[in-house]
Amino acid sequence: MAEANPNSNPGVLETLGEEIVRIVAPVSACMLLVVLLVTALSSSSGGGLASIATIAYSDDSSDSFWDKLKGALLSSLSFVVLITLLTFLLVLLFYLRCTRFLKSYMAFSSLVVLAFLGGEVFLLLISRFYVPIDVVTFSLLLFNFAVVGVLAVFLAKVPIMVNQGYLVIIGVLVAYWFTLLPEWTTWALLIAMSLYDLAAVLLPGGPLRLLVELAISRDEELPALVYEARPVEHLPGAGTRLWRERRDLASNSSSNSNILEAGDPASQDTSLVIAEEGPSVSALTAPFLQQQLERHGEVELEGIGLSSSGAIKLGLGDFIFYSVLVGRAALYDFMTVYACYLAIMSGLGITLLLLAFYRKALPALPVSIALGIIFYLLTRASLEVFMVQCSTNLLMF
């Protein structure tokens, strides 16, 4: 039996740990900024947010338990139905080769987020901390902030740190406004979007699955807002993004390099974690996946491809909903925030491990959101009571 060289082939935990670190840093930064915003502006943000998530029901403190539950379920169902319709519309436009229109729409959406949502957050911060600034200066700074952000994300070649920073900022702004939703609606929405993520990715007729298969058949990139991390290791012969069908993998699998990628085709609320491979490209090497490919002799992937930089990619939908969960926890106490953060990171790691074993497209939201909600409930129901009792006993002695 052949034995791997420990000097040239790092272990499974070391390799996956190095890859996960590339995702943990930006996700942690996004969640931290949302927690800081929620903590600083919780008393000055006013009432709830009026949006499509509350179009069916608006929470009222005088409502009964069952009224809040039914209203939250109705609101989350309305939101998911709308997102489903928009995603199918995205598939249709992509099928009709309206790629330029889709990218222009995404750029306009990013401009709205940075200019209007960002401007509102900045005004709240200025009011909260009494920052002396005049209207002209504020307008000029906000205009430059928004325009540079759109150029950095879509239209210009900028340093990767600038692109990454603006993507995180967009995620922070959207996530903060989602935390203004009523509590029951927020939890129902998180659960509903996790279930939608499962259906959209795994079902044969799921919109995200259709979108990925369409991109594979055309050898095209998905129009998406995704965070691209720096590659861990470069291989010679960098090339453009390639999409391969499953039938092409048998002859190329021995020379292929593997990466882990999480993408959000709709750039809105859901994302995929995809194992991708292609010949002779600059890629993030994943020895554990390579060992699995060599062991089984063939690949069973739903979506195959490589980015030109070979970096890990994670859709902004994950950033947003992870941060919404932690931001909602921040409205309660910081002990719950720590528990939810650790649960989300654990879920992300589990998702990547499942990706390595099953080697097929997987939704990135369900595991992390499920663990986050479970730990939130456990912390509020048991850990907090335990800590209060311990503190009381210490004070008595």
Higher per-residue pLDDT: 239 or 17: 17
Q: Provide the percentage of residues in the chain whose pLDDT is more than 90.
A: 37
Tell whether the model's pLDDT for residue 139 goes beyond 70: yes
Average pLDDT, the chain: 75
Find where tokens 């179009």 sit.
55
Interatomic CA distance for residues 172 and 176, integer angstroms: 6
Inter-residue contact 243 to 304 (CB < 8 Å):
yes
User: Using CA atoms in the order 319, 323, 325, 328, what is the torsion angle rounded to 10 degrees?
Assistant: -160
Q: Give the confidence band of 311 by pLDDT, cuts at 50, 70, 90.
A: low
Residue 365 lies in a domain: no
Q: Which two tokens stand for residue 49?
A: 């947010």
Q: Which of 2-6, 88-92, 126-130, 229-233 is predicted least confidently?
A: 2-6
pLDDT exceeds cutoff 90 at 113: yes
Residues annotated as catalytic are 197, 318
Provide the number of structural domains found in the chain.
1
User: Alpha carbon 316 to chain centroid distance?
Assistant: 4
Say whether 180 sits in a helix, a strand or coil.
coil
Higher pLDDT, 355 or 331: 331
Of the listed ranges 96-105, 112-121, 234-243, 299-308, the least confidently predicted one is 299-308
Flag whether 385 is in a domain: no
Question: Which of 4, 22, 9 is CA-nearest to residue 314?
Answer: 22
pLDDT at site 367: 94
Is position 148 within any domain? Answer: yes
Cβ–Cβ under 8 Å, residues 79 and 85: no
- What is the rounded average pLDDT of the residues 92-118? 93
Mean pLDDT, range 222-231, rounded to an integer: 69
34-60 burial string, b = 16+ CB within 10 Å, else e?
Answer: bbebbeebeeebeeebeeebbebbebe
pLDDT at 45: 56
User: Is residue 121 included in any domain, yes or no?
Assistant: yes
pLDDT in tens, 35-48: 999 999 987 655 55
- Does residue 141 lie within any of the structural domains? yes
Flag whether pLDDT at 13 surpasses 60: no
Contacts of residue 240, Cβ cutoff 8 Å, sequence gap at least 6: 308
Domain, as residue range, for 179: 19-43+66-230+302-315
Task: Flag whether pLDDT at 397 surpasses 70.
Answer: no
The whole-angstrom separation of Cα 1 and Cα 14 is 23
Beta strand pairing status for 272-279 and 362-363?
antiparallel
The reply to whether 142 falls in a domain is yes
Residues 6+ apart with CB under 8 A from 132: none
Is residue 239 in some structural domain?
no
Q: Is pLDDT at 8 greater than 80 in this prediction?
A: no
Between CA 211 and CA 277, with CA 243 as vertex, the angle to 5 degrees is 115
Task: Single out the residue of 152, 372, 369, 364 nearest to residue 260, CA to CA.
Answer: 364
> 């996700």: which residue's tokens?
27
The residue with greater pLDDT, 139 or 296, is 139
The H-assigned helical ranges of the chain are: 12-41, 65-95, 99-112, 118-129, 135-150, 160-178, 183-202, 207-218, 249-252, 287-296, 316-330, 334-358, 365-378, 384-396
Residue 263 phi/psi, 5° resolution?
-125, 155
Within-domain flag for 145: yes
Residue 230 CB partners (closer than 8 Å, separation 6+): 22, 160, 309, 311
Q: What is the pLDDT of residues 156-196, one digit of tens each?
A: 688 888 988 999 999 999 999 999 888 888 999 999 999 99
Beta bridge partners of 276: 259
Taking the C-alpha atoms of residue 349 and residue 85, their distance in angstroms, rounded to an integer, is 31
Q: What is the pLDDT of residue 14?
A: 57
CA separation for the pair 44, 180 (Å, rounded): 11
